[in-house]
Amino acid sequence: MQGDFALHEKMLRQLDVETLLVRNKEELNACHGLILPGGESTTLTNLLKKHGLWDELSTFAETRPIFGTCAGLIILAKRVVRNNLQPMGLIDISVERNAYGRQVDSFIDEIKLQLDKQEQCEGVFIRAPKIVTIGKSVTPLAWHKKDIVMAESGNILVATFHPELTDDARVHKYFLRKVVALAKS
Ligand code: GLN
């Protein structure tokens, strides 16, 4: 509907994954997993509501994984601090929008990934939010300095950075493992 969906699609295709751009319930329910891309969280919220997908996403997440990056993460969070945006509450994190400053304060920097083993990876942060608190059900998976920048809880995976803007497919592969595991169960 909005945001950086095209590069996620490109990354998934490179990994030989069949993709579908989702604009309505029927398209959503044809999928085994969903990526909510970065973009603008207020716009994305309004579009999801307008197209009847807001409540549908909570039902989807009961049985299938959702990966939210940046604005997608904001929408999946439980709380947005210092802002009147009401998120979906599908993962117990509090987030602060635009926590690094304005568009010009966007940056690329090394992050520490802890998926199967500890690794480094390049994180692209574009007017990114910060995860300010996490609940007990949430597992951190990556850090930039001391900040948690990727986390998961059940079927929900979130990242404050944009893995689709690099050639590094590790984060997408991690999400796909969740999708395949559930699709097989
Ligand atoms: N700043 C945007 C927001 O608050 C998120 C930016 C992004 O998704 N890259 O919605």
* pLDDT (tens digit per residue) in 27-72: 999 999 999 999 999 999 999 999 999 999 999 999 999 999 999 9
Q: What is the mean pLDDT of residues 71-97?
A: 96
- Give the integer Cα–Cα distance in Å for 135 and 22: 30
- Give the integer Cα–Cα distance in Å for 177 and 181: 6
Which CATH number is correct for 5-184, 3.40.50.2300, 3.40.50.620, 3.40.30.10, 3.40.50.880?
A: 3.40.50.880
Q: What three-state secondary structure class fits 2?
A: coil
- Give the integer Cα–Cα distance in Å for 96 and 99: 6
For ligand 1, residues with CB inside 6 Å are 38-41, 70-71, 74, 97-98, 126-127
Q: Whose CA is nearest to atom 2 of ligand 1?
A: 40
Q: How far is the CA of 138 from the centre of ligand 1 (A)?
A: 22
The question of whether 164 is a catalytic residue gets the answer: yes
DSSP code for 137: T
- Give the integer Cα–Cα distance in Å for 109 and 34: 26
Amino acid 184: pLDDT: 81
pLDDT band for position 185 (cuts 50, 70, 90): confident
Q: Whose CA is nearest to atom 4 of ligand 1?
A: 97
